[in-house]
Amino acid sequence: MIQILEDGAVYVLVPLVYLLGVAAAVHALFHVRTPQGSVAWALALGLVPWIALPAYLVFGRRHFSLYVRALRRARLLTEDERTELSAPVRALLDRHTVAAATEEPLRRLAGTPIVTGHRARLLVDGEATYDALLDRIGAAERRVHFQFFTIHSDEVGERFGRALTHAAERGVEVRVLYDEVGSRGLSGAWVAGLRRAGAEVSSFGRRGQSWGRSYVNFRNHRKLVVVDGRVAFVGGHNVGDEYLGRSPALRPWRDTHLELEGPSVVELELVFAQDWFFARGELLDLPVAATAAGSVEALPLPTGPFGPHPSCELVAGWLVERARRRLWWATPYFVPTPGIVLALRLAALRGVDVRILLPRQSDHLLSTLAAFAALHELADSPIRFFRRREGFSHQKVVLVDDDLATVGSANLDSRSLLLNLELGVLLRSGTIVEDVERMLRRDLEASVEVTDEYARLPLHVRFGARIARTFAPVL
């Protein structure tokens, strides 16, 4: 009897799986971003649905629709219940708005204009970044919002755990948000200690929720700290010992962060509030505390896969198109989308000094292999590539001409451009852009120019590079 039931289940299950595969294949033909991807998914789903269906559920989505719906809900709540905050925020930004038609696409993407009135400071490498963060957390009076892709339970993680615990114990509102995938090694003891002190801790991923596995391909890669609503930190550092160069395989570790004071801190804290709302369903009360602090013009750039075209790729394309004299781009991973490859090639052909700064060592084998193939695609272009002579460079910094720079969390790879939630700050005018230029010049002096590395690789490594390049969007 049991055997009959099992045989009957097989007769039902096999056609059902193939039927679901066909349905998913039709969905892929209409929704996958590229024609090549559509055909590849459709063939796999039709021929081997047992394998392709689970993969498509995880990697086939191109829009983080659940997050979009949460933000729409948050905006409705803000309009209905917290209109008293919108007027001060609008007034603060309006007072310092800088009209610039050339930056209109960025204003539309960010939802806010470029504003002046900022003080900005580059934080070069881990010691400077962590010291500045710990000093600000130690002096916090009202609230600390602390968000990172990766938090480790190592010595650096414990230092920040103690600082946040002490802040919570003296009555400061402390909220910690981390990505569940990026911080999968974070210990329960670290989280429990903060909660005992009164801090609120949440993961972006809500373990155990029904949507979690199907949306795991979308990661919150942002690094953001806001203290008292007056000062914000964004950049490349996460929380861990390796960011101080303590990993023998990756030392010395090169990275860059930004400390910002001024009107845009309001917008940056709203980015945290949106992510917190998605993770916890809690709408934060954020009294406006930021004031003008200098003369730097700034624009926060929160990006992600929220619409018909990922906003991070649009921002990257705009930066390339904006360049007239030079475009220097420091990134740990170089696996750009076809659109960005084309934009970089055209920029170099119109005479822009395009330089890509890459690390010598790597912390991600597949991304390194894919980068070899990507560099080979551009070997015949005037684009110049540089690798640091030693160690690992994790910074994500762009310099455009003499008047524009960005510091943030986005890599120049398909995952950041298409899938991740990222955060950066565009800086214009002031000495801060000069500081970025001086910093990148020092990085170039510590680097060596490379040509077509791919051509010198063994055959099996070149084969691996081509395979890795094919799977670039999910690396």
Active site residues: 221, 223, 228, 394, 396, 401
Between CA 222 and CA 271 the distance in angstroms is 10
Q: Are 149 and 236 in contact (CB under 8 A)?
A: no
Between CA 7 and CA 295 the distance in angstroms is 75
Give φ, ψ of 296 to 5 degrees: -75, 135
Give φ, ψ of 199 to 5 degrees: -80, 155
- Going by C-alpha positions, the residue among 270, 267, 273 that lies closest to residue 200 is 273
Greatest alpha-carbon pair distance for the chain in Å reads 81
Angle between helices 83-96 and 65-81 (to 10 degrees): 100
One DSSP character per residue, 359-382 reads -SS-S-HHHHHHHHHHHHHTTTSS
One DSSP character per residue, 135-152 reads HHHHT-SSEEEEEES-B-
32's tokens: 């996958």
3-class secondary structure per residue, 391-406: CEECCCEEEECCCEEE
H or E segment and range at residue 392: strand 392-393
Ramachandran category for residue 301: left, alpha or beta (phi over 0 → left; psi -120 to 50 → alpha): beta
Residue 155 burial class via C-beta count within 10 angstroms: exposed 0-12, middle 13-18, buried 19 and up:
exposed
Alpha-carbon torsion (386, 390, 395, 401), positive or negative: negative
Residues pairing with 301 in the sheet: 424
294's tokens: 């200098």
